Amino acid sequence: MPNPDLCLEALSALTGCKVESTTRVSQLGPQDIVNVVALREFYKQEGLKELDYPSIGTLSLENVETMDMYSSPPALPEPEESYTTSVKINIQDFFDPQYDYDFTNIKDGGMTFMRGNEQYFRPCGWNRAALHVTKKYDGGDRWLGTGNDAWPVSYQGYNMDGAQGIILARDKNPDDEPSFLEAGAASLVTEKTRGKGVYSTPSIQTAEKYCKTFKSKVDGKRYKVLLQNRINPEKRNKCQREDVWVVYIPEGSTDIQKRAIVQESIRPYGLLLKQV
């Protein structure tokens, strides 16, 4: 497992909260992390300035830098300058080191991997700290498997959900920065994908363009951070751009309904770190 204190810093960067260690019961579990990441960006889409979340309370959305949807996100400021809310997690219960996997020096080349009838683009170049999510959900752990009934893999970055421009992006070259179509050329293909929602991507390269970067207090180095998730194929909608998926949240949904939609649709299982 990567340095536990480094993982806490990465969770802080993702959630916008100061995440600290405790030997007691965690205030947040892995599912809460993806809920907070998704909902805070969705609420920013809605133009709201606060997010109320159980066990956290009111989380300000104003103390995080604003992202220009037509450019790559800036680096995260120093934690003390950004975090006004603190939460505590029990590292031993939160992480599951037996499933850690260091992809830092791995290159898949032409190899193809599948998860739930979708191609799985492994996070080569990243180090994964596994989250403790086995035996946590009704229906068993088939969603986390490798067979046809498993859920596909998606990646989520802090800025992805709030970047409405991502759904209009088309890369001329995989190594280029995204170029954006005119906003009028809406690229959503079904009625259910029109409107605001929670965005993720099966492409680790696309996710990296929208991830958070933070400077560690542990070693003074800079890291990128992402969540590696499984996404419910029945809840996920594909945008016209194939490397963007959206879970639509209907207009008028209550806070409880929004949280339930995220929980039914996206389950995290890995915290990804990459040294810049």
Q: How confident is the model at residue 62 (pLDDT cuts 50, 70, 90)?
A: low
Q: Which of 93-97, 98-102, 172-176 has the lowest mean pLDDT?
A: 172-176
Domain spans of the chain?
Answer: 4-275
126-178 confidence digits (pLDDT tens): 999 999 999 999 999 999 999 999 999 999 987 665 444 444 444 434 444 43
Q: How would you class 272 by CB atoms within 10 Å of its CB: exposed for 0-12, middle for 13-18, buried for 19 or more? A: buried
181-196 confidence digits (pLDDT tens): 222 223 444 555 455 7
Q: Dump strand ranges (E) for the chain.
A: 18-21, 50-53, 57-60, 86-89, 101-102, 114-115, 118-119, 127-130, 153-156, 169-170, 179-180, 197-200, 212-215, 222-231, 237-238, 245-248, 266-275
pTM: 0.84
Backbone region of residue 28 per phi and psi (left: phi > 0; alpha: psi in -120 to 50; beta: other values):
beta
